[in-house]
Structure 1
């Protein structure tokens, strides 16, 4: 199972700018823990970003995790969450998904 986290700005990029360092620290912490497998800005960048989160977390735990993002806490962004149970998986990803998608925090 994977979770696709779609970050959407609810305020302007300039309103979000002061919270970027905290948001980056949030991402780095969860990448280091193995909870986040991929994160990045969408194109165009003013739309927001996407995070792929490892399985092993239920929907409530994922929501609590996204609520910790400084962007969310400041009210400048929100997350929409889609949980995916992979049906077909590229061989390069099979090992990642075999243990529930990595570590959880």
Structure 2
């Protein structure tokens, strides 16, 4: 599965700023695990950000999104859109072909 997560700020920048370090740590954790492929701010950045993720089912992706310090603090919310890729450029097909979570494995078994 491939997921597009759109982050939208619900509060003023001054309320978001204290949680930026925790949000960056959250992003780095899931990039290291190979779940987050791309992340970055929208343009303009004051609107929020976007994450492209892979390798977990939608329920797990929603659990991951709920861990974001921005969400926990109530200053932002995610919309999760799950995509079943039908066509893709050959440059990304190998990357998206291998799931991170094998059948029967537990969520805690993901690489760290």
Aligned residues: 103
By relative contact order (CA 8 Å, sep 6+), the higher-ranking structure is: 1
Distance across 2 between alignment mates of 1:94 and 1:44: 30
Moved over 2 A (4+): 102-105
Deviation at 1:88, TM superposition (A): 1.0
Which of the two has higher C-alpha Rg? 2
TM-score (norm 1): 0.93
CA–CA distance in structure 2, aligned partners of residues 96 and 44 of structure 1: 29
| Structure 2 partner of 1:90 | 89
Q: Which runs of 5+ in 1 are unaligned?
A: none
Deviations for 1:14-73, whole angstroms, at most 9, x for unmatched residues? 110000000000000000010100000000111100000113x12111111001000000
Q: CA RMSD in A?
A: 1.3
